[in-house]
Amino acid sequence: MNQVSTVTKISAPTIASSSIDEGHRTRAMPFGNALIKLAETHPEIVGMSADLAKYTDMHIFAEAYPDRFYQMGMSEQLMAVAAGGLAKEGFVPFATTYATFASRRCYDFMSQAVAEQDASVKLIGGLPGLTTGYGPSHQATDDIAIFRAMPNMVVIDPCDAHEIEQMVPAIAEYHGPVYARILRGNVAVVLDEYGYRFELGKAALLRGGRDVLIISTGFMTMRALDSAKELQADGIDVAVLHVPTIKPLDEMAIIREAKRTGRLVVTAENHSSVGGLGEAVASCLSMNGVSAEIRRIALPDRFLAAGTLEVLQERYGITRSAMSKNIKRWL
Partner 1 sequence: MNQHANLHNSRLEEHAYRVRHNALVMAETQGQGYIAQALGVADVLTVTYFHAMNHRPLQPDWEDRDRFLLSVGHYGIAHYSVLVAAGYLPEEELPTYAQDDSRLPMSGMTSYTPGAEMSGGSIGLGLPMAVGMGMGLKRKKSKSFIYTLMGDGELAEGPTWEAAISASNYQLDNIIAVVDFNQVQADGPSMKVMNTEPVVAKFEAFGFYVQRVDGNDLSQLVAAFDRAREHAEPKPRIIICDTKMGCGVDFLEGREKSHFIRLEADDWKRAYAALEKGAGK
Residues forming contacts to partner 1 in the complex (CB under 8 A) are: 46, 70, 72-73, 75, 77-78, 80-91, 93, 108-109, 111-113, 116-118
Concatenating the DSSP letter of every residue in 264-306 gives EEEEEEEEESSSSHHHHHHHHHHHTT----EEEEEE-SSPPPP
Nearer to partner 1, 110 or 161 (CB): 110
- Closest distance of CB 69 from partner 1, Å: 11
- Closest distance of CB 41 from partner 1, Å: 17
- Closest distance of CB 150 from partner 1, Å: 13
Q: At what angle do helices 161-173 and 30-41 cross, to 10 degrees?
A: 30
- Closest distance of CB 72 from partner 1, Å: 6
Nearer to partner 1, 116 or 237 (CB): 116
Given a contact cutoff of 8 angstroms between Cβ atoms, the answer to whether 110 and 104 are in contact is no
Nearer to partner 1, 22 or 89 (CB): 89
- Closest distance of CB 174 from partner 1, Å: 19
Nearer to partner 1, 35 or 81 (CB): 81
DSSP annotation of 194 reads G
DSSP annotation of 26 reads E
- Kindly provide the b/e burial profile for residues 260-296, where b requires at least 16 CB atoms within 10 angstroms of the residue's own CB: eeebbbbbbbbbbbebbbbbbbeebbeeeeeebebbb
- Closest distance of CB 148 from partner 1, Å: 20
Given a contact cutoff of 8 angstroms between Cβ atoms, the answer to whether 180 and 167 are in contact is yes
Nearer to partner 1, 151 or 262 (CB): 151
In three-state secondary structure terms, 186 is strand
How many whole angstroms separate alpha carbon 153 and alpha carbon 148?
Answer: 7
Nearer to partner 1, 88 or 210 (CB): 88
Nearer to partner 1, 47 or 276 (CB): 47
Nearer to partner 1, 8 or 112 (CB): 112
- Closest distance of CB 121 from partner 1, Å: 9
Residues 6+ apart with CB under 8 A from 270: 19, 128, 129, 130, 131, 157, 217, 218, 219, 220, 299, 318
CA distances from 142 to 20, 55, 106, 251, 309 (A): 22, 20, 13, 22, 18
- Closest distance of CB 84 from partner 1, Å: 6
